[in-house]
Structure 1
Amino acid sequence: MTDQRWVGVRQRVGAVAAGPAGGKVFGASGHRWVVEDPLTRDELAELEGQLGVRLPEEYRAFLLHVGAGGAGPAYGLFPVRRVQGRWRWEGDGAEMVDLSRLAEPFPDQGPDPKLLRELLAQCPEEDDFGDTEDFDDAMEAWDERWEAVMFAPERTAGAIVISHLGCAQREWLIVSGSHRGTIWSDCRVDDVDLVPLLDEDGRPVTFAHWYTDWLRKAEHTALSVS
């Protein structure tokens, strides 16, 4: 049975692409309004079999009834493809996903706040160094310690990168654990920790809300004639 939320979505995306201002929608230059073909049920079963995990229901339905990726929020929804017999997501940052850990629960908590405060307190100040090279070396060493904590592989176990916003900012879909099915923002490149996207009422944004809200806004932008 087709999930009614996805009925007509491909056609709506096509209408936006053909709209008078489709090129004004943020990210359109990246996805170019292309929606890849949906997966077959056999392909989805093979994908989940390789991953060892069942994907969130809203996303599964999208893959079956809309497409394997393409036009979507920001620069598009990362497509999932079979490459040399193995399934994987493709896009800027998709390689950050450890496909062998998707069945592990996404962590409920981030790094120890005390540890983060200590690291921030240790961040070098240029005024403390008389030589620019010494400061650069100290900053590089601090960056390595900071990234080892913020980008530790276990921090994104049970999640996949599904979109990027440019400048190394990305969004993740949580696949396993208590946050399963929700979308998280990743601006760690700007020293902002992983956080869940929230709707107007402060509730976690699920995949269907994330995608259909983008589509409604894209329609408003692309189909409005000034």
Structure 2
Amino acid sequence: MSIGSWAGVREQIQELAKAPGATAVFGSRGHGFALEDPLGEGEVDQLEAQLGVRLPEDYRAFLIEVGAGGAGPGYGLFPVRRVGDRWSWEGDGADLVDPERLSEPFPVQGPDPARLAALQEECPREEDFDEEDEYGEALGEWDRRWEALLWSPERTVGAVVLSHLGCAYRQWLVVSGPERGRIWSDDRADERDLEPLLGAGQEPTTFALWYREWLADAVRTVGAAR
């Protein structure tokens, strides 16, 4: 995908920001249709050199042509910023990303579903305990086992968080491995493993498709609100 393929998108979003009904778009109160300044190609080169990985072409082009973050799906596209000589993404859950492991292949397969189901069955129930303290202790131990299984840092190597939808639901962009360039949904807050975000025809969702679908839906929502 060429950089020019994003031509006009920044201007379209700036127009949306001024449109009556813009606040009807989900998450718009969070990002306000504001966009970070675009990055220079040299800056993206520096970012990639630090991470040890080349970003998917459509996302890379977006950073250069449209902006480093801001208006976008959910409560907005997490901005990537440089503090001193270090680059990082900023947002709710951005700290889940290990920048030292982005060049490792993202694991398509997460924890064994049978193990997850078995552990869910073992979740302590308050009515089974005589003392509240005993229940709290048992639940705390179960939580530690659950987090070790579902929230292991190994689960999200090779991917960056780009957006959150509230209530700890997030969306990731895979940057390494066989799923490179695709968006994955993170509903682990609802005790489900990560899974690929698919289109209406069950096709994988790339960054460009993900963002453009959000933009088209925002335009429709604003038009209906008028």
| Bin for the TM-score computed over the shorter chain | over 0.9
- Mapped to 2, the partners of 1:120 and 1:43 lie a distance apart of 45
Deviation at 1:3, TM superposition (A): 3.2
Q: Is 2:23 the counterpart of 1:8?
A: no
Aligned counterparts, 1:1-226, within 5 A: 2-226=2-226
- Mapped to 2, the partners of 1:77 and 1:225 lie a distance apart of 23
5+ residue gaps, structure 2: none
- Mapped to 2, the partners of 1:145 and 1:67 lie a distance apart of 40
* CA shift in 2, pair 1:224/1:112, >3 Å: closer
What do the CA deviations read for 1:2-30 (whole angstroms, capped 9, x no partner)?
53431100011011111110011111111
Query: Alignment partner of 1:161: what SS?
Result: strand
Deviation at 1:115, TM superposition (A): 2.1
5+ residue gaps, structure 1: none
Query: Alignment partner of 1:224: what SS?
Result: helix
- Mapped to 2, the partners of 1:225 and 1:44 lie a distance apart of 37
- Mapped to 2, the partners of 1:2 and 1:58 lie a distance apart of 8
2:130 partner amino acid: G
CA contact (8 A) 1:78 1:163 kept: yes
CA contact (8 A) 2:24 2:222 kept: yes
TM-score by length of 2: 0.96
- Mapped to 2, the partners of 1:199 and 1:61 lie a distance apart of 22
2:223 partner amino acid: L
What do the CA deviations read for 1:81-130 (whole angstroms, capped 9, x no partner)?
00121000001110110000000000021112332233122111222111
* CA shift in 2, pair 1:225/1:107, >3 Å: closer
What do the CA deviations read for 1:50-96 (whole angstroms, capped 9, x no partner)?
00000011100101111000000010000000012100000111011
Deviation at 1:32, TM superposition (A): 1.2
- Mapped to 1, the partners of 2:8 and 2:107 lie a distance apart of 35
CA contact (8 A) 2:2 2:58 kept: no
1:121 partner amino acid: E
* CA shift in 2, pair 1:182/1:126, >3 Å: same
- Mapped to 2, the partners of 1:152 and 1:109 lie a distance apart of 13
* CA shift in 2, pair 1:101/1:218, >3 Å: same
- Mapped to 2, the partners of 1:118 and 1:13 lie a distance apart of 47
- How many residues are aligned here? 226
- Mapped to 1, the partners of 2:123 and 2:20 lie a distance apart of 50
CA contact (8 A) 1:2 1:65 kept: no
Query: Alignment partner of 2:173: what SS?
Result: strand
Query: Alignment partner of 2:185: what SS?
Result: strand
* CA shift in 2, pair 1:187/1:225, >3 Å: closer
2:120 partner amino acid: L
- Mapped to 2, the partners of 1:117 and 1:20 lie a distance apart of 47
CA contact (8 A) 2:55 2:175 kept: yes
TM-score by length of 1: 0.96
Query: Alignment partner of 2:193: what SS?
Result: strand
Query: Alignment partner of 1:91: what SS?
Result: coil
